[in-house]
A and B are shown apart, each in its own frame.
Chain A
Amino acid sequence: MPALQISIYASLLIFAVGIVVKTIKISRMPIHLRWDLYPIPHEKGKERYGGSRHEDSDWWTKPVRSSIAGEVKEIAREIFGLKTLHRYNRGLWYFSFPFHLGLYALIGLIVLLSTGALLMMWGVDFSADSASLYIRLIRFSTIVVGALGWALGLIGSAGLLLTRTLRKNYREFSSVSNYFDLLLLLTLFAVGLSAWLSADLSYDFLRTFVHDLISFSATGDLPMLIRIEISLAAIFLAYLPFTTMTHFVAKFFTYHRVRWDDSPNAPGSRLERDVVEALGNRVSWTAPHIATGKTWSEGAAGDRGEPGN
């Protein structure tokens, strides 16, 4: 099997394992104290202005009016519109939005290529001459989505890179990896766009490559630009889990588990059991006023703030 295919299998494995390990590590961190930040979109009827159940007298006696739809709507706005960036940093949004849109389009391209590859595996005629309207629609969508992905990604990453390089307040706070990440993506988008324009306008090469990947069959010769494009994609996939670009994982936790986590500690609840367990941790901080060696419960309950208590 050609090295190119093996590198894609390897990078997919690294990507999947990396993301899963990262997600598990974050989700297994101990329960933390509440650190709500409003507005919280699941506060039904109050999310528009940032209100909460604390606005209601005897709120703990009233049924929780929580709206999953509110959260889904907010998350959708965040993912597809970069709402917060649009609201608070419009200058950066003009580049970050096409950049992210480009990435989503490329995910769409992979889905469309995989769909085509699967249909080919099942013996469906997927050539440009296919009589099926659906096949022609998928082929057309693949071209449009792919073109949009490469172009938007290129514009966005170039803009972000220029912003980071030219604007002092960004330049001074950017690390080597910030530049490397953007350069890697910029190169990938540029090569992808060039490969499409020069060698694979109908995506037949890439679709065949995906087909060979799915069917575990050796792939044939590919034009040089497409080989570079695939190699870069493999590098990017394998590198991604080790970067801040995995904020798509982190964001679930920073939003759902921190700023929107307003679950009250109801008596007898699972949450209360977790809190009791956490309060059983022994304190190892060593300042004089800390109850070093005691549990958090003992430290919090039994003293008047004197040293050593």
Chain B
Amino acid sequence: MTFPIDTLRRAILLGALALFALPALAQEAPDALVKRVSQEVLQVIKTDPKVQAGDQARIRELIETKLVQHFDFSRMTALAMGRNWAKATPEQQKRLAEEFKSLLVRTYSNALVQYRNQQIDYKPLRADASATDVTVKTEVIRQGQPPVPIDYSLTKGPDGWKAFDVIVGGVSLVTNYRDEFNEQIRQGGVDGLVNSLSARNKGGAAK
């Protein structure tokens, strides 16, 4: 009757492994995380024939599987809404976060198609080891043009670091929407904003 002992031993071993492995994953430094994830994505972009051919659906799938889990969309939406966030019901907040997420994913996939093998510099992280909000700085080097800085703002949560803003060339993807969101809410309330976001995501032309 070796069975119970073996099982027990295996269970303990697995449990111990899980205990060690999980915190290790969660504790991946934010700059290491940004570098690993962006290199994984760029690798696919460089080698995947469908992406090379400009297949939007494939690029969106890539973002959904590789990137989305590293972003905190409800915090992003709250940031873009500013003080209007508190005026929205939990139900509205959920819908807003969903719509904003699809808008950002579409925008991001559109921007990724334009990536042409440029070199990316990952800057050393300047933050305390105990910091829970950090900015990871990178730079896209371009021939004959000034580099484009891309900064990622990340926050430390229970399941590791998550990005809540991407700042491209000084332009924050999130706060860039604040004027527009304010304006939409002023004109049509929170529901007005939900509707115009969803219309935009369904392919409606911008004004």
Q: Do A and B come from one complex?
A: no
